[in-house]
Copies of this chain bind each other. A is one copy, B any other.
Amino acid sequence: MATALRQSAKYGLLGRLAPFVVPTSVHGRNGISRTALPYLMSNQRHSSSGTKIKVDLDSSTGIAVMRLQSPPVNSLSLDFLTEFAINMEKLEMDKSCRGLVITSALPKIFSAGLDILEMYGKSPEHCGEFWKAVQEMWLKLYSSNMVTIAAVNGSSPAGGCLMALACDYRIMAENPRYGIGLNETQLGIVAPFWFKDTMANTVGHRTTELALQLGLLYSAPDALRIGLVDQLVPEDQVVSTAMETMAKWFAIPDHARQITKSMMRKPTIDKMVSNREFDINNFVSFITRDSIQKFFRMYMESLRKRKA
């Protein structure tokens, strides 16, 4: 496991995930070009499978299941985020779809968060494009008209945690070796204000202050205790429980639920949208600092050395 940890950390913001489980098999990233068509829609099967995300929509139930399948750790790369956004747009416009379950097709990991390789040694332009895609992911998910349930069947640090937090409900595997949290400071970087707002909307100001300053990853039971997730179930029941939970949400008239959801989330969304450019500039100038790039380089070199 130790080796896997070091390797996977190259690809995402797992940071110091020490006590938490990460995948034991680590494959290289595939070489699909970013200009390749990332999305294939089969209208017959209501199913789509891009290179990194697979979506199955059952029109009879109105539930779409989105499976993250980008080995080794579902890092949020630019490709991944682009596929995610396209999928979200299609589902949002599909009137037969009322609810979305997001889960991982990989063992032991939900998503390891932002892909460091998109931020290390890249041009400011690339970093800006990448950050805009991260913003877009959050905007589409946090403001979705669908009922969104995160079926967190593995560890979910940093951006992976953000993705779960942006859903309406979070069901996590009750495995205490899975961790979830916004642990950015552990890697020397900082969760931006809208990560913070999303977490504070979920667990309150004080818990967020402590969690973000210390870059805390919570074990599944601790995450339940502080309200970071809503429910724990055995690992093999995470997705099925999410499907069953949809019934409760579908019992509410969509229009009333959607207006209510918008009322709750609009101030947070408006704040982000009106500070979007500022946030991108802020991210780019921070991440391209020599000190941060050096921190990344040392971090990745230390991983390579340990691995060797």
Contacts and interface: CB of A to CB of B under 8 A. Distances in A.
Contact of A257 (B185, B248, B260): B185
A121 B120 CA distance: 63
Interface stretch (A60-68, A203-211, A232-240): A203-211
A213 B257 contact: yes
A: interface residue count bin: 35 or more
Interface string A89-123: 00000000000000000000000000000000000
A298 to B, nearest CB: 11
Contacts of A193: 263
A48 interface: no
A308 interface: no
Interface string A245-266: 0001100110111011101110
A189 interface: yes
Interface string A209-246: 11011110000000000010010000000000000000
Given A168-B213, A252-B215, A259 B205 contact: no
A252 B186 contact: yes
Interface of A: 168-169, 184-191, 193, 196, 200-206, 208-210, 212-215, 227, 230, 248-249, 252-253, 255-257, 259-261, 263-265, 291, 295
